[in-house]
Amino acid sequence: MQTPSPKLSVARVLACGALIVTLSMGIRHGFGLWLQPVTQAQGWTRETFAFALAVQNISWGFFGIFIGMLADRFGAFKVLAAGAVIYAGGLAGMALSPNPTMFVLTTGVLMGLAQAGTTYPVIYGVIGRQIDDPKKRSWAMGVAAAAGSFGQFLMVPVEGFLIGGIGWQQALLVLAAAALLIAPFGFGLREPGFVGHASAKREQTIGQALREAVRYPSFLLLTAGYFVCGFQVVFIGVHMPSYLKDHGLSPQVASYALALIGLFNVFGTYVVGMLGQRLAKARILSFIYFARAVAITLFLWAPLTPASVYVFSAAMGFLWLSTVPPTTSVIAQIFGVAHLSMLGGAVFLSHQIGSFLGVWLGGLLYDKTGSYDIVWYIAIALGIFAGIVNLPVRETPIARQPVPQPV
């Protein structure tokens, strides 16, 4: 009979997890500020920059499945330490790449690998294993997501200040040094007595867990909704600064807008995590997606002024990463926590495919039409679609056949 492993304190898990996602997501959310400085300095098109970030997002999603497997098997700390080093290398490569190919390999592939190892699936795997109560788990995931949003609020203005003060290349090198701090914070998430997924109520291989998930309709519906989330947030996060500048607004408006998204998502993700203790999480997800479609529609209808930008940013901020806690929490409720990092990475791959299309289509259609209008309209339609597909999601644990016990 296996003795249960001792648990980390909730405060320690949340503090270390929050610091990690504050850095990893905070740095990542500011990449839109580099679009014009990089393309102007290098003489590249917006599509070139957008394609590199699109590759980053798809790499993040693709590697996330395998990173999740490693985290479920060997624990979060080793994955986070390696991810911190890779993140620093990717940021340095983003600063020093001499041509578009190297820019895609470093900013795209390398940085995507780093983000897979330093963001939500890895952190949520620890939360899932260390917090047994599903209701408390939803709240804890909301706190961790709120920390990522606070990172955006904190880091985006800092990144804008660094670009203006020391130049875009030097700013990236400063962030590369900051990314290395993820490793010592990850040390606080070492799980005593961690033995991989042996603590599962029912032993499954990775293949069995994946096959079970992809055959379950609610998992597929969550995956479809997450695709839309990725499309919307990455398109807005990367292209909105240039959209605003194209319409005559100052760069400071874009920096404040992205910071407001981060600030209000602190509240949004925390509130959603709290509501997830009381309400059906699938209904919460449907509301978020429908509300995003309404917010984007009103933003396009209203006159474009700093005030309208800030109102839109606050509204979208409240809805920004608030999809993350309920989505991951539902996965944990349905399938358990033994393979949570891996299954979270699998559904996140869909998010990143959406991210790839959102950021890449933004650059491609802008270069072809001189406008972002078509992509805004796609984002509205997808929001309605995601709101609909989340309605039938079932949150009850999956019924499994008992494993035969040896005689």
Domain boundaries, the chain: 11-191+205-389
Is residue 390 very low, low, confident or very high in pLDDT (cuts 50, 70, 90)?
very high
Percent of all residues in the chain with a pLDDT value above 70, rounded to a whole number: 92
Between 3 and 367, whose confidence is greater?
367
Q: Binning pLDDT at 50, 70 and 90, where does residue 90 land? A: very high
Classify burial at 203, counting beta carbons within 10 Å of its beta carbon; exposed 0-12, middle 13-18, buried 19 or more. exposed
Confidence of residue 402 (pLDDT cuts 50, 70, 90): low
pLDDT at 12: 84
pLDDT at 6 over 80: no
For the residues of 10-60, what is the DSSP string, one character each? HHHHHHHHHHHHHHHHHHHHTGGGGHHHHHHHHT--HHHHHHHHHHHHHHH
Using an 8 Å Cβ cutoff, are 43 and 229 in contact? no
What is the arithmetic mean of pLDDT over 108-131? 85
Half-sphere exposure of 46 (CA within 13 A, CB side): 26
Question: What is the C-alpha to C-alpha distance for residues 246 and 203, in angstroms, rounded to an integer?
Answer: 55
Q: How many C-beta neighbours within 10 Å does residue 279 have? A: 13
Round the average pLDDT of the chain to a whole number and report it.
84
The pair of structure tokens assigned to 107 is 């900013």
- Contacting residues for 285 by C-beta, under 8 A, at least 6 apart: 222, 225, 323, 326, 327, 386, 390, 393
85 pLDDT above the threshold of 60: yes
CB 277 within 8 A of CB 135: yes
pTM of the model: 0.74
Residue 343: name the closest of 226, 199, 185 by CA: 226
In the predicted structure, residue 1 carries a pLDDT above the cut 50: no
The b/e string for 320-357 (b: 16+ C-beta within 10 A; e otherwise) is bbbbbbbbbbbbbbbbbbbbbbbbbbbbbbbbbbbbbb
pLDDT in tens, 260-279: 887 888 888 888 877 877 88
260 within 8 A of 314, measured Cβ to Cβ: yes
Residue 310: name the closest of 295, 326, 322 by CA: 295
Q: How confident is the model at residue 388 (pLDDT cuts 50, 70, 90)?
A: very high
pLDDT, position 290? 97
* Residue 199 banded pLDDT, cuts 50, 70, 90: very low
- pLDDT tens digits, residue range 293-346? 999 999 999 999 999 999 999 999 899 878 888 888 888 888 877 777 778 778
Considering only the top CATH level, what class is 11-191+205-389?
Answer: mainly alpha
Per-residue pLDDT, averaged over 164-176, amounts to: 93
Region of poorest pLDDT, from 8-22, 30-44, 90-104, 191-205: 191-205
What is the rounded average pLDDT of the residues 157-180?
Answer: 91
pLDDT tens, 126-156?
887 777 776 677 777 777 777 766 766 778 7
